[in-house]
Structure 1
Amino acid sequence: MNFIVSFLASFLLFFQTNLESIRTSYAKANSSATNTQNFITIAEKETDSDPVILGYKAAAQIMQAKITKQNRKSLVKTGATNLERLIKSNPNILELRVIRLSIQENLPKIVGYRGNLKEDKNFIFNNYAQQNTSLKNYIKQFVMQSKTISASEKATLK
């Protein structure tokens, strides 16, 4: 019995470490091409089928277009399609909405993938209070640097 509990605790700790690692890398990814490549590398190594991890993998596909010269349109389209599919299948996972909002607000307007900014922003603010402390801190970090969220909205997060 102790072995099973120990195994499960180790498994959960391992998963959490991977998620924290990918979150940290994603938060830094937009600051330089090197950080973008590091995030893509971390995301591509993930084999977990958790929807949040798959959301970060979709974001990595989209971000690949930022640092490559070939197939940029295809990379964005594939990543966006994967992210939309994940959100449609898991509409209540807040972190997927944070990922989509961050992608949409950072892509050039000409790409045309910006249709959910208001929806995701509202979803984030309506569901923020129910999240665990780790995710709240992560979301707050994103919100504070967001271009889409106003200063008065930022002030409402605790």
Structure 2
Amino acid sequence: MKILLSFFTALFLFFQSSDLEALRSSYAKANQSSEGAKNFIATAEKKSSSDPVISGYKAAAQILEAKVTTEKNKRKGFVKSGVISLESLIRSNLNDIELRLIRLSVQENIPKIVGYSKNIKEDKAFIINNYSKQNAALKTYIRKFAMQSKTMTATEKNSLK
């Protein structure tokens, strides 16, 4: 019985991990083009999980959908629902560095007129202060994000080694 339980746990974690890797990879390409954004949105919509990080990527996909939608009157709704979801996830998981990274990337890239940029300094500080506690895969992902970040200084980028 224990072997069977261990097998199912390992299988669940494997698929959970591959879902997360697929989202990370797709999210990294989402801002490069409209096609990249659409691919990320499609990838996120296919995921169903109670994992807060996967839900965070789904919230980011909602926000990004405002960028690619052709229906201008729906843009505000996409942003609002995505922001509400993301903020709720972060309030429930204050110490999750990846959720903070998602929020930082959204706030860096969303137009200033939207007014969703108040957590940039806080999230950068949280990421830098907690970086060393993360696993190797997440450290690599954070470093890649930092290198292309618009708001991280050279000193902040260098601290992520």
Instruction: Report TM bin, short chain.
Output: over 0.9
Structure 1: where are the runs of 5+ without partners? none
Query: So what's the TM-score if we normalise by structure 2?
Result: 0.96
Displacement, 1:4? 2.2
Residues 133-152 of structure 1: pairs in structure 2 closer than 5 A: 133-152=136-155
Query: So what's the TM-score if we normalise by structure 1?
Result: 0.97
Q: Hey, what does 2:9 align to over in structure 1?
A: 8
Are 2:100 and 1:102 aligned?
no
Give the distance between the partners of 2:9 and 2:45, measured in 1 at CA. 25
Tell me which amino acid in the other structure corresponds to 2:80: K
Give the distance between the partners of 2:119 and 2:63, measured in 1 at CA. 16
Give the distance between the partners of 2:78 and 2:155, measured in 1 at CA. 35
Tell me which amino acid in the other structure corresponds to 2:22: S
Tell me which amino acid in the other structure corresponds to 2:126: F
Q: Hey, what does 2:89 align to over in structure 1?
A: 86
* Aligned-CA RMSD value: 0.8
Give the distance between the partners of 2:66 and 2:125, measured in 1 at CA. 28
Q: Hey, what does 1:75 align to over in structure 2?
A: 78
State the Cα deviation string for residues 121-144 of structure 1 (Å, max 9, x = none). 000001000011110000010001
Q: Hey, what does 1:47 align to over in structure 2?
A: 48
Q: Percent identity?
A: 58
2:125 to 115, 122, 125: 122
3-state SS of 2:147 partner = helix
Tell me which amino acid in the other structure corresponds to 1:144: M
Give the distance between the partners of 2:12 and 2:56, measured in 1 at CA. 21
State the Cα deviation string for residues 68-102 of structure 1 (Å, max 9, x = none). 13210111011001100110111110000000000
How many residues in Structure 1 have an aligned counterpart in Structure 2?
158
Give the distance between the partners of 1:50 and 1:6, measured in 2 at CA. 20
Displacement, 1:8? 1.4
Give the distance between the partners of 1:132 and 1:47, measured in 2 at CA. 24
Structure 2: where are the runs of 5+ without partners? none
Q: Hey, what does 1:38 align to over in structure 2?
A: 39
